[in-house]
Structure 1
């Protein structure tokens, strides 16, 4: 993928390269849009000295990309709603300092349109992992 545009905030980011090429059956621009959103969220919610990481691998017929951070995490009561349009787990955040509340909604819709999934696992005080799965591309 090319054309990734990351937020300019400085955080430790790791982008490990898998030992084999990963080819996905997906719209490149939409996949970049999803990953840009996920990495932007990870960076926004990772404090100075924290860590944001992107990992990739293959699980059978799907490529799995996971964006993790060492931020505050998401409380269990908010997890079922984070993909809802305009939902913000922290009502004190405004559009100027916290986004519009539609990024994850759009990202999930794009993933599903490409026959993939977007899921989240989070532990308060430890961080969040968002996993994008996309079908493996043709040989």
Structure 2
């Protein structure tokens, strides 16, 4: 059974419920995932906030980029395995599942390179004035 990954630990859903994962090719259950609820999201957001205020937030943009690059490399190393999981979970053709695994690695690679390159912009405005933008992280968010 798969678990939620919160605060660097595998944890079941707080309510203890699961959802069957069906293989679309034959309709058979091949795994279970946690049936997470608002309390699980809250727990994950709190853990992410603690990491943001702690070790992760203290890393420089360059260090974060290096970690994301390592993640990209790990995804690449396990691309075939990830493609097989995607294929079984979603019923995708082999070629598309493989392309999705490669794309995932490329996303992490792209953002690894972008970590220390986020800058603001100078926008056109009235004569004698400059308008600047500065990009700042939103912090922790939870999405369903």
Tell me if both proteins adopt one fold, taking TM over 0.5 as the criterion.
no
Taking structure 1 as the reference length, what is the TM-score of the superposition? 0.27
Structure having the higher Rg: 2
Kindly indicate which of the two structures has a greater share of residues assigned to strand.
Answer: 1
- Would you tell me which structure has more helix in proportion to its own residues? 2
TM-score normalized by the length of structure 2: 0.26
